[in-house]
Amino acid sequence: MENPVKNIPLNDLHVALGGKMVPFAGFNMPVRYSSDNEEHLCVRNGVGVFDVSHMGEFFVEGPHALELIQKVTSNDASKLVVGQAQYSCFPNETGGIVDDLIVYKFSDEKYMLVVNASNIDKDWAWINKFNTMGAKLTNASDEYCLFAVQGPKAIEAVESLTPVNLSEVKFYHFTVGEFASVQDVIISGTGYTGAGGFEIYVKNADAEHVWKSIFEAGKDFDIKPIGLGARDTLRLEMGYCLYGNDITDTTSPIEAGLGWITKFTKDFTNSEALKKQKEEGVSRKLVGFIMQERGIPRGHYPIVDSAGEVIGEVTSGTQSPSMGVGIGMGYVKTEFSKPGTEIFIQIRNKNLKAQVEKLPLLKA
């Protein structure tokens, strides 16, 4: 029997706000409140707030915390300073990816791993399997809410809520402090939109107060709640990978263009095989592309060459609200992966022209 779909703590508040709730990654989540387009542009040009409390949080503590993290993640967490975060992934033993994640360093003996909602149980089992050194592990996923306050006006909108100087919280850094009169809130300079802003981790008991305070403080900035529909189009314009689409248990970090988070300065799960792959090259690569003809690419559409031969497959695609054209990501044979290369997306039996582009697809 499948697990029942869970509600996030503020479910009723989102329903009252007019959020259209849909099952996503095992949780009822707000997909939109008004329109995806409107919400997307609100974040690109102003400020919006996502409730992404479905995400998972694991704490890794004790003298062996770093040793375990180094063993299971691809990036080099020994380079982190206290108050810094790092994008990483858990490679599996067969060349694919268990999940992508963010590693937060609180102290030499305390780290937090933030993982995708759909993979909480899988990731928890995975990290425990490798914990032969006896690090202390806590799955705090059900204890925290996570609000992503995103957009160029994010700092102005919420700076009145905290004594922390938000403009000093650098990208991929974080601090723990007072926010909306609540103590010990994790304020992180991270996000999945490329529009700037913060992610706020708060205990469930304080979540509704913090959410309402954010909207009260931001009302002069026309702050809006934003659903998962716009989250997807925003991340796609940046070329950020979505687990389950662009990266899976059968795509390697090298194929996915995640060589920059795969550090061979240490041994980690399957590092020998991935190192060999990096040295010898891969036969397919994840690319971003922009449609040159009118059409909206979608996941699993074939990618073909000018002769109509299949050279790959779309993993994510949409109509870009900021650019007004079809954009996407997909795997292609390596010889077609260079920016500027002409490719074709098969949309309803028509081969429509597209061009491989360097990421991000939305140029500043």
Cβ(291)–Cβ(345) below 8 Å: yes
List, as one string, the DSSP characters of 312-326.
Answer: EEEEEEEE-TTTSSE
Q: What share of the chain is helix, strand, coil (3-state, %, to 5)?
A: 25, 35, 40
Burial of residue 268 (number of CB atoms within 10 Å: 0-12, 13-18, 19+): buried
List, as one string, the DSSP characters of 274-292.
Answer: HHHHHHH--SEEEEEEEES
Give dist(CA 85, CA 190) in Å, integer. Answer: 8
**Residue 199 is assigned to a ligand binding site:** yes
Cβ(128)–Cβ(137) below 8 Å: yes
What is the token pair recorded at 107? Answer: 């102290």
> In one letter, which amino acid is 347?
I
Q: What are phi and psi of 152, to 5 degrees?
A: -65, -20
Binding-site residues sit at 199
Binding-site residues for substrate sit at 199
